[in-house]
Amino acid sequence: MAHSKLVRDLVAAIGAGAVKAEPVDLTLFSKDAGVTRGEVRAVTFPVDAAGVSAVVKVAKRHGVPVVARGAGTGLSGGAVPADPSVLVVTMRMNSIEVDADNGAAWVGPGVVNLDLSRHTAPLGLYFAPDPSSQAACTIGGNVANNSGGPHCLAEGNTSVHILGVEFVDADGVVQVVGGLAPDMNGLDVRGVMVGSEGTLGIITRVLVRLSPIHPAVRTMLFAFSDVASAAATVSDVIAAGVVPAALEMLDRPLIRAVENFVHAGLPVDAAAMLLAEVTGHPAGIAAEADLIVATAERHGAFDTRVAADQAERDLLWKARKSAFGAIAQIAPDYYLHDTVIPRTRLVEVLEAIYEIARRHELLVLNTIHAGDGNLHPKFAYDGSDPDQVRRVKAAADEVVRVSLAAGGALSGEHGIGLEKRDLMGLSFSAVDLDAQARLREAFDPDKRFNPGAMLPAGSRCFDFGRVSMGSPLDQVSTRPGVGT
């Protein structure tokens, strides 16, 4: 194809081998693992901050937005351009510089999550956040979305493990925020960058906190004849003062799909199963494991399994982390919103989700970070059928509304992106949205970075060129804790 002046300038800036603009490339990179597709003007593969800076400056001269992308495993459309854009793919930025004495490392945004822990394991260290896609997702994407994972119940989401961020700003200048000091002076810009979904700058390196590998681990599986008993076990375990490393729930449809996929010996007759794990000193975890087992059995667990060795632990976790892939046996596509609810509302919200699925004539399969109430209801469907697409999106939006009505939040770890952008008004008042838009403009006044992501049109109450939402004081939510 005849390349545009934009593409020729990008090639001049970072080299022909780092720029792709053929139709197949533009199509391939026009979506992430979600369902939304955008329009890409060019795909770039810089290898360092200088390369990213050059791309940003070229795009700015041409008036074209820039969208960052890692491995494309995101499920919210966060790496999908809302407007025709230059894509900055960070996968070639995969350096790792370990500072074992300080329990930290500077890593490139293209480093795969699991590869980082494999790299540091000989030093007795690992990176704690473990999304289910950790064998493929990248550190840059984890930071952009403040990703979680099964073991974030005790360890905390990505934000807890990020000490500093190097990024390229809207002018193409390389900035560094945060650092090794335990209490940096000034505003916590590092904290603002985590979870910003590429709207404030393009991340080029990350200073991560590394944790010591735990000396002992115990992994347990429990089967229940009803969801309520599994949920009650979760609440009682945490009420007893034990915060396990992980506490995951799967419902019957997903248990059966995963077992048929992995053959891990899961209890296919159970209405729900819990996968629990405790880590720490051998003596300490023995007492915690005994308490969890006793609590589960008090709530009617009819099958209790304690992994005998590392091989069995690995098999159980392989089963849990295959939950998304297992759906391919049932339907070619799935759709979900990862809302968060209070643990105490888990049973009622799950019942509402099942009712939503029945009403829309859909199959829903649930996996839940039960310890912190992070839902992942997956609606299985065929994306080539417009009617199924319509019903799935309607059902998913209802799940969001039910979750928020229960006191929940829009997302626990997947981010907002394009998929949940237009639902932000359900959770935030006009004042809240305006404040977020003002913060974004402070970093990117011309809205060049990932425009259209996260914030719906009109978020800036007095933004020229947008429809005014009126006085922000007229829009303050009356829902407790929101806009107050």
pLDDT at 478: 29
d(CA 217, CA 289): 10
Minimum mean pLDDT among 172-176, 315-319, 363-367, 463-467: which range? 463-467
In a domain, 476, yes or no: no
pLDDT at 103: 97
pLDDT reading at 108 higher than 90: yes
Average pLDDT over residues 156-171: 96
Q: What is the CATH number of the domain that holds 356?
A: 3.30.70.2740
Half-sphere exposure at residue 138, Cβ-oriented, CA atoms within 13 angstroms: 26
131 shares its domain with 156: yes
In a domain, 154, yes or no: yes
Q: What is the CATH number of the domain that holds 17?
A: 3.30.43.10
d(CA 159, CA 144): 10
pLDDT reading at 267 higher than 90: yes
Average pLDDT over residues 248-266: 96
Q: Which of 361, 379, 405 delimits the end of a domain?
A: 405
List, in sequence order, the alpha helices (H) in 162-309. Answer: 189-193, 227-239, 252-262, 282-298
d(CA 227, CA 232): 9
Pair type for strands 216-224 and 162-168:
unpaired
276-294 tens-digit pLDDT: 999 999 988 999 999 999 9
In a domain, 421, yes or no: no
Q: What is the CATH number of the domain that holds 308?
A: 3.30.70.2190
223 shares its domain with 315: yes
113 shares its domain with 204: yes
pLDDT at 462: 54
Query: Smallest Cα–Cα separation from 316: which of 461, 409, 217, 443?
Result: 217
Domains: count for the chain: 4
Number of Cβ within 10 Å of residue 2's Cβ equals: 4
Query: Smallest Cα–Cα separation from 196: which of 186, 188, 185?
Result: 188
pLDDT reading at 3 higher than 90: no
Average pLDDT over residues 191-199: 96
235 shares its domain with 247: yes
In a domain, 459, yes or no: no
313 shares its domain with 287: yes
Q: Which of 187, 212, 237 delimits the end of a domain?
A: 212
105 shares its domain with 192: yes
User: Tokens 């004081």 appear where?
Assistant: 473
- Which segments of 226-373 are extended strands (E)? 246-251, 272-280, 303-306, 333-335, 363-369
Minimum mean pLDDT among 22-36, 188-202, 469-483: which range? 469-483
Compute the mean pLDDT over every residue in the chain, rounded to the nearest whole number. Answer: 92
Question: Are the beta carbons of 310 and 294 closer than 8 angstroms?
Answer: no
Helix (H, G, I), strand (E, B) or coil at 394: helix
Pair type for strands 246-251 and 363-369:
antiparallel
Question: Structure tokens of 369?
Answer: 């970070």
In a domain, 416, yes or no: no
pLDDT reading at 476 higher than 70: no
In a domain, 433, yes or no: no
Buried b (16+ CB within 10 A) or exposed e, 303-328: eebebeeeebbebbbebbbbbbebbe
pLDDT at 474: 32
Q: Which residues contact 269 (CB under 8 A, 6 or more apart)?
A: 223
By residue range, what is the domain housing residue 387?
Answer: 332-405
248 shares its domain with 194: no
User: Tokens 């809240």 appear where?
Assistant: 432
Q: What is the CATH number of the domain that holds 115?
A: 3.30.465.10
Q: Which of 405, 428, 448 delimits the end of a domain?
A: 405
206 shares its domain with 230: no
41-92 tens-digit pLDDT: 999 999 999 999 999 999 999 999 999 999 999 999 999 999 999 999 999 9
Average pLDDT over residues 256-279: 96
Average pLDDT over residues 232-241: 94
pLDDT reading at 473 higher than 50: no
Share of the chain above pLDDT 90, in %: 88
pLDDT at 404: 96
In a domain, 458, yes or no: no
- CA 261 to chain CA centroid, Å, is 24
pLDDT at 185: 82
pLDDT reading at 479 higher than 90: no
300 shares its domain with 342: no
Average pLDDT over residues 424-439: 94
294 shares its domain with 256: yes
pLDDT band at 35 (very low <50, low <70, confident <90, very high): confident
Buried b (16+ CB within 10 A) or exposed e, 208-234: bbbbeeeeebbbbbbbbeebbbbbbbb
d(CA 256, CA 269): 8
200 shares its domain with 221: no
In a domain, 387, yes or no: yes
173 shares its domain with 221: no
d(CA 246, CA 279): 9
